[in-house]
Amino acid sequence: MHICKTCNEEVQKPKRRLWRRYCQSGHRLLRDAVVQSFWGSFARAFGVTFFLLFMGFLFLVMGHDSVPGAAGRRDYVKIICYVFTFLLSIAFLNGFLAYREGRRWQQRGGAVEKLVPRARGRAFGCVWGAGVMAICFLPGLWTLIQP
């Protein structure tokens, strides 16, 4: 079931134009307008966040052999720490914005309230995914940059 966030109404059978869906009033229904459980949204957000951060980390780490010398390699690892911390902050910000969106929907009331578990699941999934990556990789990188 879809929910139009503009009309604040349930849409049982949305209109379709090509691959896009629209409510009866003509508002476009995005992917986040589908009612989903907390755990389904949590698992999806956690998996996507963890996968993207892990791939970003691997992409950054694979280039350490291209830097000549020990001092250059140490500077490259520092850059990896800064870039990876930036990626983690983006994931945390995404989780914060999803949680805030859920709170707004809860205060608004109506049919939009059914989207609150999805928003909270996405928020906690992003934060947990980023937290697991931070716990796993940042301490190891921090020990590498110490002289």
**Residue-range domain boundaries for the chain:** 1-34, 36-145
Banded model confidence at residue 132, pLDDT cuts 50, 70, 90: very high
pLDDT > 80? residue 143? no
**96-121 pLDDT, tens digit each:** 999 998 999 889 888 888 889 989 99
* Percent of the chain with pLDDT strictly greater than 90: 31
Banded model confidence at residue 46, pLDDT cuts 50, 70, 90: very high
Distance CA 3, CA 129 (A): 27
Residue 86 backbone dihedrals phi, psi, to 5 degrees: -65, -45
Banded model confidence at residue 68, pLDDT cuts 50, 70, 90: confident
Q: Which residues contact 38 (CB under 8 A, 6 or more apart)?
A: 117, 118, 120, 121
